[in-house]
Copies of this chain bind each other. A is one copy, B any other.
Amino acid sequence: MKLEDIDGGTKLYVIIGDPVSAVRTPGVFNEMFVRQDTNAVLVPLHVAAAHLESVWAGLKAIRNLHGVVITMPHKSRMCGLVDSLGQNGKVVGAINAARRTSDDTWEGDMFDGLGCVNGLQKQGHSVAGKSVFLMGTGGAGAAIASAMAQAGVRRLVITDVNAERLGQVMANVRREYPRLSIAAGQIGQEEFDLAINATPLGMRPEDPLPFDPSGLPESTLVVDVITKPEITPLLSRAQETGHRIQSGRHMHRGQAVACAEFFGFDLGW
């Protein structure tokens, strides 16, 4: 597949967001289409929040549009605009992908958390049966909580400075996974197999650590969702104290792989 091969038979995919200037999804997907010689293309659409409904009404009616990747600030509102939701989309109340189904409706789901789980599994860390501490219940945190529950963790302890948001995410997870052991709590109160930062702390050099990994058992895997820098101060400190780590890069790749699979493609690692 090459740019000059785009024709009337090309399957169209888009990413909608505002801004789109830094999106990397087109490159990731189009490299796959080139490599696998698939007659498809993914293009970025710069869509302001004020126009989301009208743009979506138009996009739905484009018959060769097969899938939509959704980024900031549209993830929550798109949840209410698609016809059906996958499990993680239901729990999180936000989606980052939607696909046209065989009966011409649109199904959305959230793959950010699944990306974290897939990234861990790809590195040889199974998640089922494990105890997990999660800090932060914003978009990424809520998605991780949902995906961890779906992946069959034994226990999930969550914290957030925003108590209302924390309570909402816990209630949403409990609603879909009533038998999961889930609690609000801090990291020092019990031992965990995984300790995950899903807050933005670590993006700026002056940020405090989200939590101190030095007191954790050596077996605890320390995970960060931040992609820039790849090795955050949290991960750097965890390495110093002898812990295995996983960076946001793996989650990011896992998210793209899961999203491609949802569209019917094998992105590969």
Contacts and interface: CB of A to CB of B under 8 A. Distances in A.
A20 B9 CA distance: 8
A20 B8 contact: yes
B34 A4 contact: yes
Interface string A1-28: 1111111111010000001111110110
Contacts of A62: 45-47, 55
A57 B55 CA distance: 7
A261 to B, nearest CB: 20
A54 interface: yes
**In terms of DSSP, what is the predominant structure of the interface of chain A?**
mixed
A61 B57 contact: no
A58 interface: yes
Interface stretch (A36-44, A161-169, A191-199, A237-245): A36-44
A234 B69 CA distance: 52
A10 B15 CA distance: 13
Interface string A42-66: 1111111001001111110111110
Given A21-B8, A54-B57, A43 B44 contact: no
A33 interface: yes
Interface residues of A, number: 43
Contacts of A27: 4-7
Interface in A154-198: none
Contacts of A55: 58, 61-62
A4 B23 contact: no
Task: Give the one of A8, A19, A27 with max B CB within 10 A.
Answer: A8
Contacts of A12: 43-45
B20 A3 contact: no
A56 B55 CA distance: 9
A21 to B, nearest CB: 4
A43 B46 contact: no
- Which 7 residue pairs are nearest across A and B when measured between Cβ atoms? A58-B58, A51-B61, A46-B63, A8-B21, A8-B20, A55-B58, A46-B64
18 contacts: A2-B34, A3-B33, A4-B30, A6-B30, A7-B44, A8-B23, A8-B44, A9-B21, A10-B26, A41-B41, A43-B43, A45-B62, A45-B64, A46-B62, A47-B61, A51-B58, A51-B61, A58-B58
